[in-house]
Structure 1
Amino acid sequence: MFTITPKLPSRQNLVDKFSMYMTVENNKGRSTIKWKTDPHLQSNIELYKSRHKKFASLFNQENNGRDLVQFWIDMAFNDLPALEEWEPEKRVQNAWEHLSVYCEESCYWAAEKLSSDVWKEDKYQSWEEYLFFARCLIYNYNKFRYVLAKYNSNNSLDTYLTTVLINAIKDEAAVAKFSKWRLLHKKSDRELKEALVRAGRYEPEISQFLFARKYFKQVYQMNKIQNPAKITGKKWLEPDSADFAEAANYYNAEKLLPSVPHEVAAGAFVTGEQIKVWMEICIIALQNYPKSITPHFSLEALQETGRKVEYDESPEIIEQDLLTYSEVKDSFETQGRTVKRTEPALLLQLLFFKSEQQEILLLYYGFGLNQKQIAEKFKVTQGAIARRLQTIELKLLKTLSELSQPTEWVSQYVAGWLGRSYQAPIYSDLIHVAIVEAIKKLEPQEQELLRLTYGQKLDEQIIANQLGISQPKLIDTLRRTKSKLEAALIKEIDNLINKYLQSWLPKVSKTVVKSACDNLGFSRSGAASLKTMNAVLKESLKILHSSK
């Protein structure tokens, strides 16, 4: 339906014009437009103002930013002026982003003109749709570049671009196929997730929205897109209550499968009305977040919020995660204390080993010799070396276990985690992942008990009635369920400790051997001969004992 175009507020200064993008918000049924700052673009402008004299001087020109537009165009098209040491490597990409947000106003005026003058009698179109078409152009690198390549710098970019956008909107809207449901249907999960994060949505909502959208798309595809009543090229049909109810049925039927995200399984069953509300939230997020229009500009969106999409397990990360877990026993009040104690404790244990054991460690982890080569040096069997390495590693593992003492804090940690993080675990934290995986291996009734207790936070008596069991049995089942989680967590901590040790031993041994080679003036590759190796080994032992 045709709607009145809301007033466009002004951006206060030139910094705002090149660093703020538009959001459309719905307040009690009325749309309002607001400007939102992109911190990355704002900081980039401040950087150039403080380091680039010519750029800073352009802010004093009385031409409403035309020279600044040309500055970014020169950089975007020709990578000019010459790159200086202080400039970011992605300066060309940044230039395109500055130009795109600057042109947001032209998008508005093109949409406003069409909705108020040209096609205001068309009840099937609205200014929001026109605005979306326009923004799709300026956030599409190839299309936007093509348009700017024809721009004459002697004229106003605003006037030129508004005219271009009006024609582009006419071409798109003439097909009369756009609707907010098409927008929701076409966007990828990654784009939708980014849009929801920028809209201020967090877990477990995001996972629930994405899961619901999956089944809504299937229902909408079958009932509306492939519906014989839909005429090709015409606007997509509106979903009805039966579509949402059918999507809710699929959601509820699939939510307890092992492959389903934990945030979904932990939540309550949903209704068709709830699915409708969720899909409306997703649509508003996509409409308000211009960066979701173009993948090229949206790669860093989640990183800006401090979230991680993928987990890259490296020795350094393993070390950090392990030490964080051991800090839990101090209730996080003495954070970092265990971190400072771990490596000295391991080094001290190394010094308690016999000289032969120390040499075996340095040869195996520092020089990279295999067990057979070490056995030849000590004139013993390979099995003997394997057993000695195992003895050494077990003593070091015992040292780590005594520091972390999982049996003392795991029970309290699991109880606290269930109350605090059951609905939205942190997947960059290995301990959270371990508990989630343990939950998926529980019996169906045990999973349902956790969902009702910690997901919906229902009263014990209500849960007992719902599950058809007595309250004492419910309490006993909950206790046994927690015990299973505790056992699984202790097992995972043992694995983490072992991983940490396997990353720590090579790191320390190689560092000692490298220092010894440096002291003797040898390269590590030149320490292959027996005579040289013995000299480096002797120096390595000196360095190791000097760390007392």
Structure 2
Amino acid sequence: MRSRQSILEIFSTFLQFESDSATRWVSDARLRRSMQRCLEESDEQDLSEMVWSLYWHRLWQADSHPLAVAHLSAYLQEVCFWSARKLALNIGSSQSLADFFQIAIVKIHRVLQGFNPQHSSGLKRYASLAFSNVIKDTLRLRQEVDICTDWALMHKLSHKRFVESLQNFGLDASAIAERVFAWQCFKIIYAPAQGKGLRKLAKPDLSTLQAIVDLYNRDRVATLGATAQPCNPALLEQWLTTCGKAARSYLYPSLISADTPQPGAENTEMLDNFESTFQESNLSQIIEAEEEDQRKQTRSQLNATLLKALVKLDLPAQRLLQMYYGKGMTQQEIAKELDTKQYTVSRRLTNLKQSLLQILAEWSQTTLHQTLNSNVVSNMSTILEEWLKLHYSHPDLPS
């Protein structure tokens, strides 16, 4: 497998497998046009592939470009291939290299969700580990799903995954609530001893189904509300059978290639359903707009942090800050007003600002992950001074 060279190729081509081998790169016309437009509109002509990967990742996070995930999927083809190849060589499995590759790349959203540009040296390095974990997790899960019956599988599911499987199946909130409660009753009544044939658990017999129904009907109003309808063994069996199929489908989905022909339209592919109405903006303008949004969010968080700190101050401290920043009084005027010494006022103001500055520094370390040094602290002190002046000049307005 040759390595791709140009930015255009890296973000618009996909591996083609033949007989479990990656034979060549196939260009996607739509992605190629999209990437070509971006390159033409970019003010910087020599941006690295890492910069472009961060650009598409930002658009994917903002859900502002229908082809962002496809561009990132193209970008990560080689990483996914080598992760799949390594596991295919080291893990004894009936799955082929192409199967491993498909298992990993279909979870591209999971990889992108876990990637944090601030905490990683690059998307490729992160994806290499993430794809390996995806394949390993899927193999472990599939082995368990293959071995278990549907009835045993429902005993092993967590509440979170059980609900997610029903949501994925398309049930509404009311139907999910009924089936979740029925599932809980099922686990209480029909619970074989651990390790004794649990994986091969068969369908409950009629007497067991009736016991589950009795428990369900007894507590349904307290659990589901007054409008909950009674259940019967036939309905319960139908519910649980559906739940088992939904869980298996959710945990072990069928993999369908994006270039599979659409039913009844063999000349078209699923990729053709991607919308292409997005008009690419200039790269620098998009990044600038996103950075402005980030700055607004940061200012909002800073404002909330300092307001919370001011509320916790005692009344004399709040009055002192109001006189100094709100009314513009000098320290001598404040000392005369409070019948105290000027140096006392100065010391109290200094202590108050130091306290607020400490809170601001802690927020900066926790939220912005900034390393404190003299320049950063000096800049924070200036920000705090300006914030206090603005706040006490217009205390009823957001700063």
TM-score range, shorter chain: 0.3 to 0.5
Calculate the TM-score normalised by the size of structure 2: 0.36
